Chain A
Amino acid sequence: MKLFSQFALITFMFVLAAHALLASGAHAKDIYFDSHWTLWQNADILIWTPDKEPPIDPKEFCLSLRRNNTGIGEPKCRLFGEWERDTVASRYASWLSSNMEPGLDAHYLKARHPAMMAKFQTLEDKIVLYIADKGNNLQVAIFDETSSEPKAAGTVTKKADKIALGDEIASALFDRHTKRRLTKEERLKMETEPDELYKESPTFRSWVGISAGYAQAQVPFTPDSWYRSHIKSRVGNYRVTRDSVSLWNFMDDSTPLFTLYAGGIWFGFIGGEIFYRYSNHDVKIDERDSVYEELDHWDFTQHEIGLNVMFSRTYAPIKWMDLHLFAFLGFQYSFYSEDIELKSSKKKPSKEYETRFKTEDPYKGALLGFGFQSVFLQHYGLSVRTGISSRGKDIYTEPSPDAAAEPTTIGASTVDWFISVGLEYHWTPFK
């Protein structure tokens, strides 16, 4: 154990020493700034200097680049004679040499002459490596077609050995990931392609869809205690529960949910949807109650139709997929159709059976939620939505003389949470 810790300590010291060495090595170059410029594979590198003789040899520099950066492919390097012979360019080159200092950002080094700016714009994928002699150091800078200020600038220590100097410059400025250059056809295609950002949203987009989901009384991330009394409740004697405010006192709340729907949206912003929802709920009878011995099954089918208003926002993360985020708000009518049957052996139902609870027709409710539609290839959509929906009835009804004799009407306020996944077909009927 002790041996191991000693070994770890020595390793640590060694790493520290290596770092110190590297740091002292870094003094040989001093890069003032280096922005995100693109280094192309098989790059064309033009060496531009205001001095009489370039301090590096273009061919040797190409080899240095290949040694230093394996991803660079086969670069071509040559002296940039056109600019060295040009008055405007050579004036800017000497100006740059006297102005490049640590602490000055790229925009202080911008070429101001219109003719010089035009020269930068016509570079077309070529990378200009500027090298100027400054006593003990060489000033180096990188230019490309995207800007008339240097993309990177700094100094490296001057060396008589051209190969070593080339290696130094290659490691100082060209040590980065390379990108494949576009071919002429690809470039032309890129230029003629419409910009995705400016893609027009259709005036109207419509869809039909079918979805399957799940609904339950409890809204996620809310305490159980809010629902416990409703969920635990059982129906005694065909009609008796602790309270009748929620339908979930009588029926099973957690069920599969199926929806058919159709909708449309204007300008990808405001729209509407009409829907039909179906689910089936068993009545939660109290099994201990002997009155149910006659009963074969008892359940309710819930049919809901409604209308949503929706607000949407469209994103295009990938070329062949549109993502529409939306929120919706709507109202619905809920109908319950009862399915009850006695055992075949039982000829006449009990008195309790005759006075069992009844549901209102219809319940009115609201729903609220959000979701997204991801539409592939402009037509095939996958949609996920979640929300809460409610069903209620008017509490204040006309009093009638035989109200007491009528069975209790139930479900003044029934709320549930739902989530569903739908398959959709989208189309734009008119542009």
Chain B
Amino acid sequence: MAALLFSGCAGSYQWSKSHPAYKKAPYGELTVTGLQKAFVLTRTKWFANRLDFGDSTQIKATEFCAKAMEQEFRGGYGKIIVLSDSVLDNAPEESQKLDDRIFMKGKLPEQGVVVKAPDGTIPEQILLIHEVIVGTDLKRENFFDYALIHNESEEKREVKNISAVISYTLWDNIKQRPLFSAVDEIQHPVIKFGLTDLEQLMRQTVQQIRKNLYQGVGK
């Protein structure tokens, strides 16, 4: 129901893009990369006041989120391979166009080069997580619509939701092409904020990604 509401609200933008050759969503097995460096926490002060991380809220909260997300992925797929972020270190940053004004930036492996897992196997598909922005009451168009990104976002006194905006690409590692690219926005209502809420937010994020990966097939 909430997803229906969201898709209704954001009807003016196209937030995902499928390659014509995207025929089958990953099932049972998934290779993920980007879980180390992709996380960013905004409104650190707000979080610092409510979490017991001392001076290093930014680092510890993002670590916590990454762990929670990995955990949720492990729950959703039988076999999870997490690749180090360094597999993409030499790749140039590229932008993928999702809509007239929506451009998604991220590193993609080079054409003609396959990414290998540490054990030497070649995963068929890799979920590249480009960026996860965690904050309060975030709207994805403020980050990805190039006409809006320079707008100063208003600082809201009252926090209704904690939110995550995540951009990711399902990569065909065999043929080196993006199968499915999307930007998702997840809102989780805050009643009495604690670490469990952050965990919950990550859980919802992974669920949203999985759902979109399925819905993107053949589109």
Contact = CB atoms under 8 A, between A and B. Distances in A.
Contacts of B111: 91-92, 95, 111-113, 116
Given A112-B94, A113-B110, A99 B175 contact: yes
> Which of A101, A111, A113, A114 is most buried by chain B, counting CB atoms within 10 A of its CB?
A113
A103 B218 CA distance: 13
A95 B92 CA distance: 17
Interface residues of B, number: 14
B110 A103 contact: no
B176 interface: yes
B142 to A, nearest CB: 27
A94 interface: yes
B112 A92 contact: yes
Interface string A85-106: 0000011111100110101100
Contact of B108 (A90, A98, A103, A112): A112
A173 B113 CA distance: 30
A143 to B, nearest CB: 14
Given A95-B176, A98-B175, A103 B112 contact: no
Interface string B75-115: 00000000000000000101000000000000010111100
Nearest to B92: A114
A108 interface: yes
B16 to A, nearest CB: 17
A94 B110 CA distance: 12
A379 B206 CA distance: 72
B177 A108 contact: yes
Contacts of A114: 92
Contacts of B110: 91, 112-113
B21 interface: yes
Interface in B138-158: none
B19 interface: yes
Interface residues of A, number: 17
A369 B176 CA distance: 64
A95 B176 CA distance: 7
B11 interface: no
Interface in A112-165: 112-114, 116
B59 to A, nearest CB: 33
A101 B21 contact: yes
Contacts of B92: 113-114
Contacts of A94: 112
A92 B111 CA distance: 6
A159 B94 CA distance: 40
A99 B176 CA distance: 9
B8 interface: no
B54 interface: no
Interface string B162-193: 00000000000011110000000000000000
B120 interface: no
A91 B20 contact: no
Interface string B11-55: 000000001110000000000000000000000000000000000
A368 B97 CA distance: 51
Contacts of B94: 112
B108 to A, nearest CB: 7
A396 B108 CA distance: 85
Given A91-B111, A112-B108, A112-B111, A104 B20 contact: yes
A352 B213 CA distance: 102
Given A95-B176, A99-B175, A108 B20 contact: yes
Nearest to B113: A91
A278 to B, nearest CB: 60
Contact of B112 (A91, A101, A104): A91
B211 to A, nearest CB: 25
25 contacts: A91-B110, A91-B111, A91-B112, A91-B113, A92-B111, A92-B112, A93-B112, A94-B112, A95-B111, A95-B112, A95-B176, A98-B174, A98-B175, A99-B175, A99-B176, A99-B177, A103-B20, A108-B19, A108-B177, A112-B110, A113-B92, A113-B110, A113-B111, A114-B92, A116-B111
A-B pairs, 6 with minimum CB distance: A91-B112, A95-B111, A95-B112, A94-B112, A98-B175, A92-B111
Interface of B: 19-21, 92, 94, 108, 110-113, 174-177
